Amino acid sequence: MDEKLQRALSPSSALSPSSSSALPPSLPSAPAITITSTPSVTTLATKDRELAEVQTQLSTTLAALENSRVSARKQAERVLELEARLARADSEKRLEMGKLEVALALEQARVVGLVEERDLARQRLDKVKTTLFSV
């Protein structure tokens, strides 16, 4: 592949004279690319080692991500459970408040009835007193 690239960029490439003259004279021709090194066995071994390290880091990171997802899911479930308990407690509190309000209203009605009954009894007593003392 590198040899093909060098042949393509060398001045003896298959460029026709008409295409080289089509370039404006102010633009220089492309510089030649020379490849100074080729992959060696040690380079490949280093790259394999680096690749193995990266794969290890990736698997470790993925495991940590999965653990955090599980933890987040458990926390979300716990939050939902606590919200359900809170809603249930709030509902029970409102029900108890309603019961107490009804009991208070009944007690107030009973007290009002007792007060009216007392007032009527006083009026009757006053009538009886006036009737007895007038005789």
Whether the per-residue pLDDT at 45 is higher than 80: the answer is no
In this prediction, residue 47 has a pLDDT band, given cuts at 50, 70 and 90, of confident
Comparing 43 with 58, the larger pLDDT belongs to: 58
Q: Which tokens in the block code for residue 21?
A: 């003259």
Q: Which residue has the tokens 């007593």?
A: 125
Q: Residues 84, 77: contact at Cβ < 8 Å?
A: no
Q: Residues 6, 34: contact at Cβ < 8 Å?
A: yes
Q: Which tokens in the block code for residue 18?
A: 């008409």
Instruction: Please count the helices (runs of H) and the strands (runs of E) in the chain.
Output: 3, 0
Whether the per-residue pLDDT at 26 is higher than 50: the answer is yes
Whether the per-residue pLDDT at 37 is higher than 70: the answer is no
Q: Which tokens in the block code for residue 7?
A: 């042949």
CA dihedral 112, 115, 116, 118 (to 10 degrees): 160
Whether the per-residue pLDDT at 113 is higher than 90: the answer is yes
Give the E-state strand segments of the chain in sequence order.
Answer: none
In whole angstroms, give the CA distance from residue 2 to residue 10.
Answer: 12
Whether the per-residue pLDDT at 92 is higher than 60: the answer is yes
pLDDT of residue 17: 47
Between the alpha carbon of residue 60 and those of residues 15, 64, 70, 94, 119, the distances in Å are: 53, 6, 15, 50, 87
Domains in the chain: boundaries: 41-134
Per-chain mean pLDDT for the chain: 83
Percentage of the chain modeled with pLDDT above 70: 69
